Structure 1
């Protein structure tokens, strides 16, 4: 499912237009990304949480030259699924 398809489902569930649902979805995503980039944790109980984590510097290899390289530390976004979300996926996927 992509963002347009999700917006269509949201529009059907909420009785709004697809355009309004897309605007709401874009606002939600923009605000989640903004909060996480400022160091906040965005948590939806039962669904999961979004946060930023520091990935430490590490050693890697250049696959073309087989030389060892140092991969610098960086901050990466992380999503951790909540209990209810995991249970729902397990019921449908299992």
Structure 2
């Protein structure tokens, strides 16, 4: 299977334009509004769940000790918040069927 390209905001807006018939400007505006709403929710510490697609989850990682692989020197890694994505079961099945 060949590696696929990258899906961009412009691709999403174009799909809206073709599928629903909105103007390109309105389609781009809707894509931007949806992404902004998702970013706002995540920045407030909320998880974002899209049924049939997956869930964007914020996790707090504690401080830990890492190691420089070249020198072997231990380095403290500061606590931080990370964003992870868990694909829904339906999405996992679709991906497996496509490969």
Which region of structure 1 is more displaced relative to structure 2, 58-67 or 84-93? 58-67
List runs of 5+ in structure 2 lacking aligned partners: 1-6
Instruction: Describe the superposition over 1:37-90 as per-residue Cα deviations: whole angstroms up to 9, x where unpaired.
Output: 212122122211112111222222335654211110101112111111111111
Structure 1 runs (4+) deviating above 3 angstroms are 62-66
The SS at the match of 2:39 is helix
Distance 2:66 2:24 in 1: 45
The SS at the match of 2:86 is strand
- Equivalenced residue count is 93
1:6 Cα offset (Å): 1.9
Distance 1:39 1:46 in 2: 22
The SS at the match of 1:69 is strand
- Give the CA RMSD over aligned residues: 1.6
Distance 1:75 1:21 in 2: 32
User: Structure 2-normalised TM-score?
Assistant: 0.81
Distance 1:56 1:9 in 2: 41
- Contact kept, 8 Å, 1:37 with 1:52, in 2: the verdict is no
Structure 2 residue 89 is matched with structure 1 residue 92: no
Aligned to 1:8: 14
User: Structure 1-normalised TM-score?
Assistant: 0.85
The SS at the match of 2:92 is helix
